[in-house]
Amino acid sequence: MTDAALKNLFQDNFLEYASYVIKDRAIPDEADGLKPVQRRILWSLREMDDGRFNKVANVIGHCMRYHPHGDQSIGDALVSLANRGYFIETQGNFGNQLTGDEASAPRYIECRLTELAREVLLDDRLTEFIESYDGRNREPVSLPARLPVALLLGAEGIAVGMSTRILPHNFGEVVQAMISCIRGQDFSLYPDFPHGGSIDASAYADGTGRIRNRATIERKKGLKKLVIREIPWGTTADSLIASIEAAARKGRVRISSIDDFTAGSVEIELSLARGAEPEETVAQLFAHTDCEVTWTSNGLVICGGRPLETSVSDLVHRSADRLLDIMRRQLELELADLGARLRWMTLEQIFIENRVYSGLEKAASEEAVASAVRTGMAPHLGDLELRDDDLEKLLAIRIRRISRFDIEAHRTEMGTIRAAMDESSRNLSDLAAFTVRWLQALAKKYGKRFPRRTRIEAFDDIDVKGVSLRNLKVGFDQKGGFAGTQVKGDVTFDASEYDRILAIFEDGTYKLLPMGDKHFLGKETVFCGIQDKDRLFTAVYREPEHRFCYCKRFRIESFILEKEYSLVPPGAELLLLSDRQGISLEFFFEKRRGARTRKGCVPAAGIAERSPSARGVRLGGTRIISSIRIVEQAAEAEPAAREAPAAPEDGGAAGGDALPAPGPPMPDAPSQDVDEILRNAEALRSKASDLLREASGLDQGDLFEQP
């Protein structure tokens, strides 16, 4: 076999397999909302239906005539379908959805169709059939479902390259949505889970988004205990307890003991550890355990033999259109049946009232009998036509029927049939109103059996990091260059497992690391701590080309773990880094001939906050700073001097704002020789007045500049 032929063989077989899994296994059909195995189970129950319970083992065996995938798959699907409670009535142990207990063996449990299933799913005359997989039997293509079954039951399946998840909804609300749809009114539907609990459906997006499902947690009065009364859909009491125990072992939740009293309803009692608060613990349970579960809805169904992505409202609209068509066909069949019944009763009345049968005594052959009947009936038929099958039925009337024929009762029954035909005709002419009345009667009959169990609420967002316990000790070994929970270093700090370690290095780069046992930093570190988006850093660096100094204040808020970022341009020198607040930066200039100032002081709070990658504010204008240090806010120049406006020397970068003016300019320090100072005291006093006059024209751009 050539490579091309082999490739085509694999491609054809794979496409055939993928199509089979998508259409016949995993994805429900849009017409009746059922997967093939569910449809075959319900049809088997329909064929076996005699009003009594049937052994599940017998139902499975009967269904294997249609479903070629073994008894285990049929049994599991039957138990799951029965536990939804809509279409299969059970007797025996079908498992417990709250505890996760499995059903008993099929030979011990029984089931039958519910009245609701007979009313909304099954009608042989409206069902289209095909041959079963072996050609020995006929099975339905789809059931004539009068409701959107996929929304009632929910559906979940994984096929080749696609999947579906339709969440279950409330019976009464689905029926009401159908009524609103037929009337042309707006409607909205939200999931309803058999486990109860509460949901936040703000992001449901008509079945194309997600919901958050929470357990119901009560506080026991007078005791430091919490009781879980309802659990999220898809969980069991055992799985929920396992998630709480795992969170407690990791220090995420402070629980001392768990007692499970779940039977017919959920009751899980949690005893809080010493020092734990109930409100805080509830938030931790929602954040770290299965007490809150998020479900994503993805409506995918088979429509016309092809996969179709759909929404909740679209499924309701399609089901409403289908219901109207089913009701129309049903009324037409009823009219046909009533018309056929009335026609026969008219022929029977003519045959008996006019004693047509009396002329049969002289007939010697079958042809003579048929001729006698046709001759006797002809004057009374009017527009009716006597067919051969009518003739056979008339000749089959027994003498007892003729002798006991009640003309008045017969006419009364014919009047009832005519009235029923008139009503069917009126319903057919106003099909929408008739369908709405049928749906209202259905809701009145079954609505109380299926009350809403899940409450719809708006949840407050829980800050997982904020409610996490800071139960980890992180060490930083500056000499060795290690940091982590297993490092015994010079500095230690508390952290939670959701925190990140921030390391800023001497070369002006920084990196954020996940919480771990031991990280090798690999560079000289000037800061190591827990990343906090509220922490405000002040940094000063010297750029290499002109040796100007720049200052910036920044927060580190967004990042990618273990990626190296830079605070300074390439080749720049980081001079100062601090996360202290209420400080000022005092800097000294290199000596320059003719310069009147030697130092400046800028409050850090006056520097605009920028991003970590921003250039920052230039200090000292065009002058070179030789050294810089941090001083407390109280060490700044007197307030009167800070009120002087600042004027950048060269204007700085576009859009920059001037910083607050530093302290007053200081003249070059005179000689420290006391004798010389005394000799020149008089000269200095005269020079002071000159300095004051020159102060107004002093070039303050020599002190700093903001680009």
The number of residues making up the chain comes to: 707
**Token digits for 441?**
């009667």
**Does the pLDDT of residue 395 top 50, yes or no?**
yes
Structure-token match 């307030």, residue found: 639
3-state secondary structure of 530: strand
Mean pLDDT for the stretch of residues 154-168: 92
Residue 668 has what pLDDT? 38
**Does the pLDDT of residue 99 top 50, yes or no?**
yes
Neighbours of 135 (CB within 10 A): 7
Please enumerate in sequence order all residues whose Cβ is within 8 A of that of 532, keeping only pairs 6 or more positions apart, or say none: none
Higher pLDDT pick, 665 / 400? 400
Mean pLDDT for the stretch of residues 577-606: 84
**Does the pLDDT of residue 397 top 90, yes or no?**
no
Q: What is the DSSP string of 200-245?
A: E-TT-GGGTSEEEEE-EEEEPTTSSEEEEEE--TT--HHHHHHHHH
**Angle, CA 603 vertex, CA 597 and CA 608 arms, to 5°:** 115
3-state secondary structure of 542: strand
Q: Give CA 336 to chain center in angstroms.
A: 49
**Does the pLDDT of residue 590 top 90, yes or no?**
no
**Token digits for 560?**
């990618």
Element (H, E) at 562: none
Please enumerate in sequence order all residues whose Cβ is within 8 A of that of 16, keeping only pairs 6 or more positions apart, or say none: none
**Does the pLDDT of residue 408 top 90, yes or no?**
no
CB-facing half-sphere around the CA of 528: CA atoms within 13 A: 27
Residue 375 has what pLDDT? 81
Angle between helices 312-353 and 388-395 (to 10 degrees): 60
Residue 643 has what pLDDT? 32
pLDDT band, residue 666 (cuts 50/70/90) = very low
Domains of the chain (ranges plus CATH)? 22-183 (3.90.199.10), 346-447 (no CATH), 532-705 (no CATH)
Beta bridge partners of 156: 165
Mean pLDDT for the stretch of residues 346-369: 79
Element (H, E) at 149: helix 149-153
Higher pLDDT pick, 623 / 642? 623
pLDDT band, residue 467 (cuts 50/70/90) = low
Mean pLDDT for the stretch of residues 423-428: 93
**Nearest alpha carbon to residue 273 among 240, 224, 226, 217:** 224
Question: Of 20, 66, 86, 108, which residue is the catalytic one?
Answer: 108
**Does the pLDDT of residue 82 top 70, yes or no?**
yes
Q: What is the DSSP string of 291-360?
A: TEEEEE-B-EEEETTEEEE--HHHHHHHHHHHHHHHHHHHHHHHHHHHHHHHHHHHHHHHHHHTTGGGGG
C-beta separation of 489 from 502 below 8 A? no
From first CA to last CA, the distance across the chain in angstroms is: 74
Residue 399 has what pLDDT? 78
pLDDT band, residue 289 (cuts 50/70/90) = very high
3-state secondary structure of 170: coil
Single-letter code of the amino acid located at 458: A
Neighbours of 327 (CB within 10 A): 19
Single-letter code of the amino acid located at 291: C
Q: Give the pLDDT confidence of 169-211 residue by residue, as tens digits.
A: 999 999 999 999 999 999 999 999 999 999 999 999 999 999 9
Mean pLDDT for the stretch of residues 85-97: 93
C-beta separation of 416 from 424 below 8 A? no
Percent of the chain with pLDDT over 90: 49
Mean pLDDT for the stretch of residues 106-131: 94
Q: Of 9-18, 37-46, 456-465, give the lowest mean pLDDT range.
A: 456-465
d(CA 99, CA 94): 12
Alpha helices in 53-170 (DSSP H): 56-63, 71-83, 115-120, 149-153
Q: Of 28-37, 505-514, 515-524, give the lowest mean pLDDT range.
A: 515-524
Residue 108 designated active-site = yes
Mean pLDDT for the stretch of residues 513-524: 88
C-beta separation of 585 from 611 below 8 A? no
Q: Give the pLDDT confidence of 570-579 residue by residue, as tens digits.
A: 989 999 999 9
Residue 690 has what pLDDT? 53
d(CA 642, CA 657): 16
pLDDT band, residue 34 (cuts 50/70/90) = very high
Q: Of 255-259, 290-294, 623-627, 671-675, give the lowest mean pLDDT range.
A: 671-675
- With 0-12 / 13-18 / 19 or more C-beta atoms within 10 angstroms meaning exposed / middle / buried, residue 458 is exposed
Please enumerate in sequence order all residues whose Cβ is within 8 A of that of 121, keeping only pairs 6 or more positions apart, or say none: 32, 42, 87, 143, 144, 145, 146, 149
Q: Give the pLDDT confidence of 268-278 residue by residue, as tens digits.
A: 999 998 888 88
Residue 669 has what pLDDT? 36
Residue 598 has what pLDDT? 81
Mean pLDDT for the stretch of residues 483-497: 85
C-beta separation of 153 from 170 below 8 A? no
Residue 536 has what pLDDT? 92
Structure-token match 């052959």, residue found: 365
C-beta separation of 504 from 567 below 8 A? yes
Percent of the chain with pLDDT over 70: 88
Region at 292 (left for phi over 0; alpha for psi -120 to 50; beta for the rest):
beta
d(CA 53, CA 113): 9
Q: Give the pLDDT confidence of 307-317 residue by residue, as tens digits.
A: 999 999 999 99
Q: Give the pLDDT confidence of 530-555 residue by residue, as tens digits.
A: 888 889 999 999 998 888 899 999 99
**Does the pLDDT of residue 76 top 70, yes or no?**
yes
Residue 691 has what pLDDT? 53
pTM: 0.72
Residue 683 has what pLDDT? 54
pLDDT band, residue 473 (cuts 50/70/90) = confident
**Token digits for 307?**
């996969």
Q: What are phi and psi of 570, to 5 degrees?
A: -60, 135
d(CA 285, CA 216): 11
Average pLDDT, the chain: 84
**Nearest alpha carbon to residue 20 among 308, 309, 305:** 305
